[in-house]
Amino acid sequence: MERKIITTHNFETFISENFKPFETAISECSEAAYQAAFSCDSARKLKNIVYLYKVSKKIPRLIGESDILYIGQTSTSFQARYARFASKISALQRNKKVHQHYGEIYISACAFEVLDSTLISAENRLLWHYYCNHAEYPPFNYTKAFRPALD
């Protein structure tokens, strides 16, 4: 798979060109809605991906705004990682607030090799460039990034 260059300046374009949305969005804060998204074809089939939780309405950040809630990675399928937690995730107060204020949640994914040589370094690269653009991490991320080797 061809590795592509992501920079702070092309971050948004890179995301829109390389991350493909799952066919099912999380339309409401219910276990059924989360389960539907976590078990759609993309969630079942894609592995070794970096993924984004995104929202319909952009969220104000320290600098600018973004529709990205979370940046993550998984070596297993998205379904294997999250489906068993649909009930707990849908009950989280923060997710109820997100649906109330920012609309549907979309999941988008990209093969990690497009970004870097490992899942962890690919996730780190996304987090780093998000931080460079907004001076903070996505609202649901707790992982801190380090400067990627080639940047």
Mean pLDDT by 10-residue block, N- to C-terminus, for the chain (151 residues)?
86 96 93 90 97 97 97 94 77 85 96 96 95 96 77 55
What is the rounded distance in angstroms from the CA atom of residue 105 to the CA atom of residue 70? 11
List C-alpha distances in Å: 30 to 11, 14, 39, 78, 98: 32, 31, 14, 18, 13
Using the Cα atoms of residue 140, residue 145, residue 148 and residue 151 in order, give the sign of their dihedral.
positive
Those residues with Cβ within 8 angstroms of residue 133's Cβ, 6 or more apart along the chain or in another chain: 8, 11, 63, 64, 66
What is the reported pLDDT for 150? 62
What is the reported pLDDT for 93? 82
Listed residue (111, 112, 130, 124) closest to 54, CA to CA: 130
